[in-house]
Structures are given as C-alpha cells and as structure tokens.
C-alpha cells in the first residue's frame, strides 16, 4: 500500500472514530464456501450456498471502491476453487484497492494470473507436516502449502502465515516461528473460536486446556519481545487474547470501519456471529444499500488477529501501528 493510501486509510478511520461516519475501509469477501480440506475447526465446506457471478462481484467491488474501501481480503472456503479468481482480483486492482488472499496454497500453479497482482497472500499453517495434515484431514496438505510458497516466491508475491491455536498444535508453535523465519516473513496467531463457520464439535474437540493456552501466550509474548518482526500480533494484541475463551474489553467497529460479504451476497458486520434479524443482500439492496442496512449484533469478544489489531488502532492504541505497517508494506 502506497504511503498516500496509508494516510488516506488512517484519515478515514479517524472519521469513523471521531465523526461517527460509516466507512467500510476494510472488507472481507468470502468468495465461496467450497473447500477441498476438511479442517477440524471449520465447517465452511458443509454449508453449500449459491455464489455471486463474476459480473456481480465486479459490480460489488466497484461499489465498495465508491464507498471508501481501501483494503479487500478475498477468502472462502478455498477461493482458488473459483476459476474466475483472476478476474475478481483484477477488478479490485483496477480500483486501486489493496488486495490480499487467504488460502491453503491449493491450485497455485493454475492460478498464477490471479496471484501475481496481489499485495499479500496469507497461507494457513497448522503446524509441522504431520500435525498440519492431520488437522486439515488431508494427506499431502503440507506439501501443498510448500508448493504454494514456491509459486509465490517465483512470482515475487509477499506472503505470511496464519496459525489457529488448537488443542492439537500448541506444541508446534516453535515450529511455526521457525518456519516463518525460514521463509523471511511473519505469522499471525489466533485462538480457535466457535463461530458460525466452525464445526459443531469444535469446542469439544479443538479447544485447548486453559493452562496450556496460557503457557502458549507466554511463549508468544517472549517471542514477540525477542523477535518482533516474526509475529503479526502486537504485544497488546497478545495480552488481549490471553483471556480466551472469554475475550472482552475491546470495542468492536464491525459494521462501522469494516464489514464482510458472504458468497451469496449477504452483507454483515462480521461473519463470525449469529444474527436474529434477516441480513441485507447485494442482489436485493445493492452493495451501498446493504451496507446502510447492517443488522444490530451482540458479540462476546473476538480473538481473530486482524480484527483485534484494527479495533485496537481505532481505540487509539498507537503501539500496534508497527505491526499493521508491516502487513501493508509493499512487497
């Protein structure tokens, strides 16, 4: 993201915070619910839904640009399963939007045209090869990740890792840090959460013991102090998620400074909570109309790294600026 774009984003966030303006500075799009993996802590793959067409996504992105969106995160499911991914990425680039992708590394050889223009690709990392494959319920998943890294290096695309902390992989946190060091990048750590898109048995099967989790946060805090550039999380962010699973005490700006759009066009403040009232859809309300009709919500707290850091920035926590700057720095 260029310096002028960074300044504009910070100005827009200031307008949201000080003037009560609703500006979707950051938006995540779930392009599909389809996925080739069967991760133990996620059930996107089991919730099929109609998907917006290429033309519809192009129109949505154009509307988001007019609404003030500066950062777009393309996710899923597994977004590389969409054969039109390159066209969607190109639409965002045509409007000058900083665009990143959340993926496993699947089909990267076939999707080079989609990957090449991206500012950042965030790859899911669940641990060492055996642990990664077991959590993903997919033999060869770690080799797939390595293949994805190879393609990104060949294309010169910036990459990072995202590590969801579960009962099965806390012992692999040192591996994840070493892996990030080996690939000269950073990794975002976040606790497993029971959400609308997590498996029903996630709490029983994936939640770590509280004492084990606290020790993991202590380890990450020491790692942050020793090697700040290796962790996406700020120290303040780590302190915030230390109270998991009861994460409170941070005002959320979902629906005000950021929003999510589901594969079928539903627009919500956040896709990780349940809504009691119907949610607006871009097909019936238009993108701008849907953004103006976002439902009310109640949230008990969030441990997702990107949301935590953005909410801390809006709370005036300037100590997290270096970690955000590292993410949006140009490759």
Q: Given a cut of 80, is residue 308 above it in pLDDT?
A: yes
Compute the average pLDDT of residues 293-316.
86
Instruction: Kindly report the pTM of this predicted structure.
Output: 0.92
More confident site: 13 or 132: 132
Q: What's the pLDDT tens digit per position in 92-151? A: 999 999 999 999 999 999 999 999 999 999 999 999 999 999 999 999 999 999 999 999
The pLDDT of residue 330 is 55
For 149, which DSSP code?
Answer: H
Per-residue pLDDT band at 159 (split at 50, 70, 90) = very high
**In the beta sheet, which residues pair with residue 259?**
27
> Could you tell me what percent of the chain has a pLDDT over 70?
87
Instruction: Average the pLDDT over 190-197 and give the result.
Output: 78
- DSSP letters spanning 207-245: PPPHHHHHHHHHHHHHHHHH-GGGBSS-HHHHHHHTTTT
**Long-range own/partner contacts, residues 151-154 (CB < 8 A, 24 or more apart):** 151/105, 151/108, 151/109, 151/112, 151/115, 152/108, 152/115, 152/121
Mean pLDDT of the chain: 89
In Å, how far are 54, 90, 154 from 28, measured between CA atoms?
16, 16, 26
pLDDT category of residue 248 using cuts at 50, 70 and 90: confident
How many CB atoms are closer than 10 A to CB 230?
18
Better pLDDT: 194 or 289? 289
CB neighbours of residue 232 within 10 Å? 26
Helices (H), the chain: 3-19, 54-67, 85-94, 112-115, 129-136, 141-155, 173-182, 202-206, 210-226, 235-241, 282-285, 287-291, 305-314, 321-328
Confidence of residue 44 (pLDDT cuts 50, 70, 90): confident
Measured CA to CA, the distance from residue 331 to residue 324 in angstroms comes to 14
Phi-psi bin for 146: left (phi > 0), alpha (psi -120 to 50), beta?
alpha
For residue 314, name the pLDDT band (cuts at 50, 70, 90).
Answer: confident
pLDDT value at position 113?
98
Q: Quote the pLDDT of residue 4.
A: 45
Q: How far apart are CA 233 and CA 303, in angstroms?
A: 11
- Give the pLDDT score at 136: 94
Handedness of CA 176, 178, 180, 183 (dihedral sign): negative
Give how far the C-alpha of residue 187 lies from the chain's centroid of Cα atoms, to the nearest Å: 12
Determine which helix (DSSP H) or strand (DSSP E) holds 73, and give its type and residue range: strand 71-75
Is the pLDDT reported for residue 328 higher than 80? no
pLDDT for residue 245 is more than 90: no
**Alpha carbons 170 and 84: distance in angstroms, whole number:** 36
Task: Check: CB of residue 251 under 8 Å from CB of residue 258.
Answer: no
Average the pLDDT over 175-189 and give the result.
Answer: 98
Which residues does residue 122 pair with via DSSP β-bridges, in sequence order?
Answer: 102, 160
Looking at residue 293, its pLDDT comes to: 94
Look at residue 162 in the predicted model and tell me its pLDDT.
98
Task: Give all domains of the chain, ordered by start, each with its CATH number.
Answer: 3-328 (3.20.20.70)
Residue 279 banded pLDDT, cuts 50, 70, 90: very high
Mean pLDDT confidence for 204-213: 90
- Per-residue pLDDT band for 6 (boundaries 50, 70, 90) equals low
pLDDT over threshold 80, residue 7: no
- What's the pLDDT at 313? 85
Model confidence at 70: pLDDT above 70: yes
| Chain CA centroid to CA 34, Å | 17
């Amino acid at each position: 993201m260029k310096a002028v774009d960074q300044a504009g984003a910070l100005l827009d966030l200031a307008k949201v915070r000080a003037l009560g303006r609703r500006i979707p500075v950051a938006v995540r799009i779930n392009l599909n619910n389809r996925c080739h993996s069967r991760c133990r802590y996620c059930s996107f793959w089991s919730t099929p839904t109609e998907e917006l067409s290429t033309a519809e996504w192009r129109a949505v992105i154009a509307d988001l640009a007019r609404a003030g969106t500066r950062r777009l995160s393309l996710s899923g499911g597994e977004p590389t399963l969409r054969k039109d991914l390159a066209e969607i990425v190109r639409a965002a680039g045509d409007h000058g939007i900083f665009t990143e992708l959340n993926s496993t590394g699947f089909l990267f050889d076939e999707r080079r045209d989609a990957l090449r223009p991206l500012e950042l690709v965030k790859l899911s990392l669940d641990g060492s090869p055996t642990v990664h494959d077991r959590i993903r319920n997919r033999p060869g998943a770690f080799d797939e990740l390595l293949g994805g890294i190879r393609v990104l290096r060949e294309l010169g695309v910036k990459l990072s890792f995202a590590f969801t902390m579960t009962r099965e992989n806390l012992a692999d946190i040192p591996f994840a840090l070493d892996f990030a060091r080996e690939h000269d990048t950073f990794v975002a750590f976040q606790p497993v959460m029971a959400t609308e898109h997590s498996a029903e048995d996630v709490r029983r099967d994936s939640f770590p013991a509280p004492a084990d989790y606290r020790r993991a946060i202590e380890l990450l805090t020491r790692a942050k102090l020793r090697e700040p550039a290796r962790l996406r999380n700020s120290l303040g962010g780590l302190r915030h998620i230390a109270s998991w699973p009861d994460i409170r005490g941070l005002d959320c700006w979902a629906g005000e400074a950021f929003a999510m759009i589901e594969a079928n066009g539903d627009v919500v403040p956040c896709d990780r909570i349940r809504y009691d009232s119907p949610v607006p859809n871009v097909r019936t309300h238009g993108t701008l109309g849907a953004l103006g009709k976002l439902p009310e919500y109640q949230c008990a707290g969030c441990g997702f790294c990107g949301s935590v850091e953005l909410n801390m920035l809006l709370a005036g926590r300037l100590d997290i600026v270096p970690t955000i700057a590292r993410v949006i720095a140009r490759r």
